[in-house]
Structure 1
Amino acid sequence: MTFAELIRLRRVRDLMDRDYAQPLDVPALARAAYLSPGHFSRRFRAAFGETPYQYLMTRRIERAKTLLRRGDLSVTEVCVAVGCTSLGSFSARFTALVGETPSAYRARRHDWAAAVPPCVAKILTRPVRNGEAGPAVAQ
């Protein structure tokens, strides 16, 4: 992988981080990286360890966890706010990454998060791709 290609991939990853709630698809992201969709997906996975779709959904689930901890939005409202169009797909992905349903996560106490700096809370609550819940946190 060339240095220039890695820079383009990082810019696309930054775009995904910034515009996670927008409708993003692989062909549009590939155009931003000046690559074909198939080549873009392969190179993105080689560079970052997950496919563009997996990366985008992880960002969306991270944001959803933050919104659910606040407790002022319903699960459906959170689903739409993070850019998902299907409540069923959102719930299934959330459950796979977090280890509990969005409703159960929202209902659980999150007092610990108020005392933790946001940068640390983000690390502690980051979804883990292999289906295991994130680091254990006192509840």
Structure 2
Amino acid sequence: MLERVTLEDLVRLRRARDVIDRDYALPLDVPALARVALMSSGHFSRSFRAAFGETPYNYLMTRRIERAKALLRRGDLSVTEVCFAVGCTSLGSFSSRFTELVGESPSAYRARRHEEGAAIPACVAKIYTRPLRTRDPAGAGQPVRIGEADPAVAS
């Protein structure tokens, strides 16, 4: 059963989401984000998922991977340096999550050419380069864009 999110809670959840967007490279955890939203950790996690379609941790990791993709495209930092620059503390976990969301390893992504997207405005590129889940929870074989409603659950 989906939890209903009140307008008052949504305002507080957006405040916490803004903290994730701004401070993604800092050590963030659910209790700290729940304090920002003035909620208990459990209520915050359930409400965040109901409002935004993913857990706070998944949202944080999506932001980190988006930023990592931008840093890797520049090509002047190693994969390890990018891992730590975006706030991850384990290269193995970072690489696994990056591969899961992007579909290729950070090293392969860094080595690939990226000039074709250079002329695209950043606001448009962000939409089209947002990491996708490579595993379809409904089993239909289609990747599900993170943050979008799962079509199998939407009805």
Query: Considering the TM-score relative to the shorter chain, is it more than 0.5?
Result: yes
Instruction: Give 1:35's aligned residue.
Output: 39
Tell me whether 1:55 sits opposite 2:73 in the alignment.
no
* Residue-by-residue CA offset, 1:67-115 (whole Å, 9 max, x unaligned): 0000000000000000000000000000000000000000000011211
Tell me whether 1:21 sits opposite 2:41 in the alignment.
no
Please give the alpha-carbon distance, in whole angstroms, between the structure 1 residues aligned to 2:104 and 2:22: 26
Larger deviation, residues 124-133 vs 93-102: 124-133
Number of residues of Structure 1 aligned to a counterpart in Structure 2? 134
Please give the alpha-carbon distance, in whole angstroms, between the structure 2 residues aligned to 1:41 and 1:55: 11
Percent identity of equivalent pairs: 76
Please give the alpha-carbon distance, in whole angstroms, between the structure 1 residues aligned to 2:79 and 2:15: 31
Equivalences for 1:5-20 in 2 at 5 Å? Answer: 5-20=9-24
Counterpart pick for 2:123 among 116, 119, 125: 119
Give the deviation of 1:133 after TM superposition.
9.1
Which structure 2 residue ranges, 5 or more long, are not aligned? 136-142, 146-155
Instruction: Give 1:100's aligned residue.
Output: 104
Assess if the C-alpha contact under 8 Å between 2:102 and 2:134 holds in 1: no
Report runs of 4+ in structure 1 exceeding 2 Å deviation: 129-134
Larger deviation, residues 111-120 vs 56-65: 111-120
Provide the TM-score with structure 1 as the length reference. Answer: 0.92
Counterpart pick for 2:77 among 73, 82, 86: 73
Instruction: Give 1:137's aligned residue.
Output: none
